[in-house]
Chain A
Amino acid sequence: MNDIAQKNHAHGNPRNFWRLYVFSTDHKVIAKQYLGLALFWALLGGFTAYLIRWQIAHPDTEAWGWGFIEPGVYNALVTMHGTIMVFFVAMPLLLAVFGNFLIPLMIGARDMAFPRLNMLSVWIFALASIVLITSFFVPGGAPAAGWTGYPPLSAKNEYTGGGYGVDLWLVALALEFASFLLGGVNFLTTAMNLRAPGMTWLRLPVLVWMQLIAAVVFMLSVGPIIAGAVLLLMDRNLGTTFYAPAGGGDPLLWQHLFWFFGHPEVYVILLPGFGIILEVLAVFARKPVFAYRPIIYASMVAGLLSFIVWAHHQYLSGMDPRLAMPFSITTIIISVPFGLVVLSIIATLWGSSMSFQTPMLFALGSLGVFIFGGLTGIFNGSAPVDIYIHDTYFVVAHFHYTLISNVFFAGFAGLYYWFPKMFGRMMNEALGKIHFWLTFIFFNAVFGPMHLVGVGGMMRRISNPTQYDFLKPVEPLNMFITLMAILLLVSQLAFVINFLWSLLAGKVATANPWRSNTLEWTTSSPPPHENFAATPVVHRGAYEYSVPHAQDDWLPQDFDSDKASKAALP
């Protein structure tokens, strides 16, 4: 079994520090490396958010810890906030961290199919991070063309006033994509080839399925934007005219290439979040996931649909207006597969026996928040309504509700839930609960009212709303939102403290503190170098909780009931 992993670990557990923690091929170490990078970026992204909010609420006053925010710098902040949060926080956290750490553990493998490739991808990602950080310091400053980098604004420096910022931004994105591309190859091959005996496709935990679907969607959608980025780099540096109408090109081309990737990307982030929610809910509700297969099929359908909805970002972009309704229809139809997933999650709660530890609270919070975000998505999906709310804060509020629900809340649920397995210690329960309630309250206080700001017509990415008469009514709201946003950011200290403190002095965790069924809990916390002393043999699906007539309310996947009953006989 798993000869591949064995081949790559013939020399067993490397002893020296570098091979063990820095240039490690161990998927668990790599996951932690991604986690470190993601948390670092999250801090930076949070700081940009604070500056953005400050400028909106108190335009042209000195922001504490920074000073005045010139309009150009404001655009750079907006650009970097989007780039960082989507590509350097959400993706590493949800895919790289949980995917790398859990896929091999959950399928009973010793490591990824290509451990060295895995190491390569984390180091490419690190390189991308360095390149992106560099862009802050080059003459002209960070890119300021928006995280969507629409040309011509991004194509000519005299338009943005930037220098190498956009070039570095493009290079960083290309590297980041390459890294996750290799990661996706690894995920898929690992799940195809290294499943433990008995781990059939339909016994895989939902999270693994979601990671795989996300990987496929990412790999099939990222190509055009890589090509598009190359073309944009050439436009900037070789004088080509792909996006310059004067030279026969067309700026709209970039928007199509970008969003053909950009929308699937959204589901690449959402699906793993659902996976985490379902894993956590099943455990803390002591109930099998309701409609396991339909959930998986629905996610596949959603992934498929995500390839034919991208133009709903472009209803008003100058795209042929006849295209709008077809894309509007496909977009709104997406509510069906996601609705099915959400209702199945709710159905999982029916007749359950819930205990509300921190992971459960975050999972439930994520569910509640996502429903709101999903429903507001229907407004944006409808072409006529989009005429008014496109590029307003309604859109901003909407995608923060959907993305933060699955990055922030689901991500935290996952961290609190798997922290014992990752680091061998429990996180502090009281601090965790405080963290949840503060986050939940302030999050809704920030992004709930933001919908009203959008309904008021406030455009995205304007640094000074007070320049517009028709925005006078929303100014008090903006101030309130900023206050709440600062409190939301501050309340994350509860997590930082909890994380660091538990890392060093948390209660030592048992192998299976939550009494879960999935394979990662059958090995010690943290797992040894090759995960399992003996390759586990799988006898059942991942969610056999509260089985009738079973003496216990859980049946681990590798629990051999026949052998057990034989052993029970005198």
Chain B
Amino acid sequence: MVTNARTMDGSLEPAGKAGTWWFLSSEIPTFGGLLVSYIVLRLGGSGWAEASSHLNLNIALANTFLLLTSSMTIVMAHAAVQENDHKRAAKFLALTVLLGLSFLIMKALEYGVEIRHGFLPGSGIFWSFYYGMTGLHALHVFAGIIVNLVLCIQAARGSLAPNGHRIELAGLYWHFVDIVWIFLFPLLYLA
């Protein structure tokens, strides 16, 4: 009865964390279903590797780097807030937001390049999945950026709850989005 003990102390900590994890537990099958569909159709189909070779690996590499780094910066923000240094937390959160934004910008550029080369969502099953998966992922990144931005402002204003618990929750979501990319990157660009 681990959780039963928690019943007695009503601090937001366990509630927020449990809630976030439950939310993630429904996000896992969402992307899982997408990845599974991609994998089975690719293994059963043909011409995927050829299509994938038209992707721009360099942009994707840069994006991977950006997202991994943003994951690091947001845990740094969490570490900072645990040491009750909200100013530093705000700095790291701002960094995270910037990294996330540059990820989206790079992604937009990449889309632009592909569309100029005539690779549209309708240009075949690989491109359908490419735009579908990266698009859904980008939406998640966008949502995360907004959350982080709000927390960043709160931390800068010092209006964040002393335990700064929310930064950890935002971090959980942000890391999950990062993990999704960790699998999208090889599936789309390397394989």
Give Cα A219–Cα B26 distance, bound, in whole angstroms: 5
List of A residues within 8 angstroms of B29 by Cβ: 220-224
Is A249's CB within 8 Å of the partner chain B?
yes
Among candidates B15, B30, B121, residue contacting A223 with C-beta atoms closer than 8 Å: B30
Interface of B is mostly: helix
Q: How far is the CB of A109 from chain B (nearest CB, A)?
A: 10
Using an 8 Å CB-CB cutoff, how does the interface string of A252-283 with B read, 1 for contact, 0 for none? 01000100100000000000000000000000
In whole angstroms, what is the CA distance A524 to B3 when docked?
29
A188 at interface (Cβ–Cβ under 8 A)?
A: yes
User: A185 an interface residue at 8 Å Cβ cutoff?
Assistant: yes
Chain A residues positioned under 8 Å from B14 (CB to CB): 192-193
Q: Which of B1-59 contact A (CB under 8 A)?
A: 1, 3-4, 6-8, 10-12, 14-15, 18-19, 22-23, 25-34, 37, 41, 45, 47
Q: Are A195 and B4 in contact, with the CB atoms below 8 A?
A: yes
Tell me the nearest residue of chain A to B48, going by C-beta.
A248
- The answer on a CB contact under 8 Å between B23 and A249 is no
Q: Is A227 an interface residue (CB 8 A)?
A: yes
Q: Which residue on chain A has the smallest CB distance to residue B8? A: A197
Q: Does B111 contact A (CB under 8 A)?
A: no
Q: How far is the CA of A257 from the CA of B125 in the complex (A)?
A: 17
User: Are B26 and A181 in contact, with the CB atoms below 8 A?
Assistant: yes
- B4 near A200 (CB under 8 angstroms)? yes
Per-residue interface assignment for chain A, residues 172 to 213, with 1 indicating a CB less than 8 Å from any chain B CB and 0 otherwise: 000000000100111011001111110111000000000000
Q: Is the CB of A234 within 8 A of B45?
A: no
Contacts A185-B22, A185-B23 given; indicate if A239 touches B121 (C-beta within 8 A): yes
A113 to B7: give the CA distance in the assembly, Å: 12
- Whether B132 pairs with A3 at a CB distance below 8 angstroms is no
Q: How far does the alpha carbon of A224 sit from the alpha carbon of B35 in the complex, in Å?
A: 10
In the complex with contacts A192-B18, A250-B41, A226-B122 CB distance below 8 A: no
Answer whether A194 and B7 are a contact pair too, CB < 8 Å, given A114-B19, A200-B1, A253-B41: yes
CA distance A189 to B3 in the complex (A): 10
Interface size on A, residues (CB 8 A): 50
B21 to chain A, nearest CB (A): 9
> Does B142 make an interface contact (CB < 8 A)?
no
A247 nearest CB neighbor, chain B only: B125
Interface check A238, CB cutoff 8 A: yes
Check B101 for interface membership: any CB of A closer than 8 A.
no
Contact of B98 with A by CB under 8 A: no
**Contact in complex: A247, B128 (CB < 8 Å):** yes
Closest to B130 in A: A240
Note all chain A residues with C-beta closer than 8 A to B185: none
Q: Which of B8, B25, B41 contacts A249 (CB 8 A)?
A: B41
Instruction: Check if A197 sits within 8 Å of B30, measured CB to CB.
Output: no
B129 to chain A: which residues have CB within 8 Å?
Answer: 242
> B131 an interface residue at 8 Å Cβ cutoff?
yes
Contact A114 B26 (CB under 8 A): no
Interface residues on B, range: 35 or more
**How near does chain A come to B34, taking the closest CB pair, in angstroms?**
5
Distance (whole angstroms) from the CB of B93 to the closest CB of chain A: 22
Of the listed residues A181, A194, A241, A248, the one surrounded by the most CB atoms of chain B closer than 10 A to its CB is A248
Q: Are B15 and A114 in contact (CB under 8 A)?
A: yes
Residues of chain A lying within 8 A (CB to CB) of residue B28 = 223
Report if A241-B6 is in contact (Cβ < 8 Å); known contacts: A181-B23, A234-B132.
Answer: no
* Residue pair A189, B33 in contact (C-beta under 8 Å): no
Q: Is the CB of A193 within 8 A of B18?
A: yes
> A533 an interface residue at 8 Å Cβ cutoff?
no
With A181-B23, A260-B33 as known contacts, state yes or no: A242 contacts B15, CB within 8 Å: no
B37's nearest neighbour on chain A, judged by CB, is: A253
Distance of A126 from chain B, by nearest CB (Å): 21
Q: Are B121 and A192 in contact (CB under 8 A)?
A: no
Q: Does A2 contact B (CB under 8 A)?
A: yes
Tell me, in angstroms, the Cα distance from A222 to B19 when the chains sit together: 17
Contacts of A83-113 to chain B: CB distance below 8 A: 113
Known interface pairs A223-B29, A224-B30, A248-B45. Does A201 touch B4 (Cβ–Cβ under 8 Å)? yes
A114 to B127, CA, bound (A): 40
Is the CB of A340 closer than 8 A to any CB of chain B? no
| A240 with B19, Cβ < 8 A, contacts A223-B30, A227-B136 known | no
Of A185, A223, A227, A247, which one neighbours B122 at CB under 8 angstroms? A247
Q: A4 at the A/B interface (Cβ < 8 Å)? A: yes
Which chain B residue shows the least CB distance to A1? Answer: B10
Q: B residues within 8 A CB of A185?
A: 19, 22-23
Cβ contacts under 8 Å, A241 to chain B:
122, 124-125, 128
Given A189-B22, A197-B7, A200-B4: A240 and B122 interface contact (C-beta under 8 Å): yes
- Smallest CB gap from A6: residue in B: B10
Q: Select B1's contact among A117, A201, A240, beta carbons within 8 Å.
A: A201
B120 in the interface (beta carbon within 8 A): yes
Is A230 among interface residues, defined by CB-CB distance under 8 A?
Answer: yes
A4-B10, A231-B132 known; A113 and B32 CB under 8 Å?
Answer: no
Which residue in A186, A224, A240 is a CB contact (below 8 Å) of B132? A240
Interface centre among A1, A238, A257 (most CB of B within 10 A): A238
What is the bound-complex CA distance between A201 and B47, given in angstroms?
54
Assuming A4-B12, A114-B15, A194-B7, is B124 touching A223 (CB within 8 A)? no
Instruction: Judge whether A536 is part of the interface by a CB distance below 8 angstroms.
Output: no
B122 adjacent to A238 (CB under 8 Å): yes
In the assembled complex, how far is the CB of residue B8 from the closest CB belonging to chain A, in whole angstroms?
A: 7
CA distance A189 to B131 in the complex (A): 35
A257 touching B121 by the CB < 8 A rule?
Answer: no
Chain A to chain B contacts (Cβ below 8 Å), 9 pairs:
A188-B19, A201-B1, A219-B25, A223-B29, A227-B31, A230-B132, A234-B121, A247-B128, A250-B41
Q: B interface vs A, CB < 8 Å?
A: 1, 3-4, 6-8, 10-12, 14-15, 18-19, 22-23, 25-34, 37, 41, 45, 47, 120-122, 124-129, 131-132, 136
Interface residues of A (CB under 8 A from B): 1-4, 6-7, 113-114, 117, 181, 184-186, 188-189, 192-197, 199-201, 219-228, 230-231, 234-235, 238-242, 247-250, 253, 257, 260
Besides the contacts A117-B19, A193-B15, what 5 more A-B pairs have beta carbons closer than 8 Å?
A4-B12, A199-B7, A222-B30, A234-B132, A242-B132
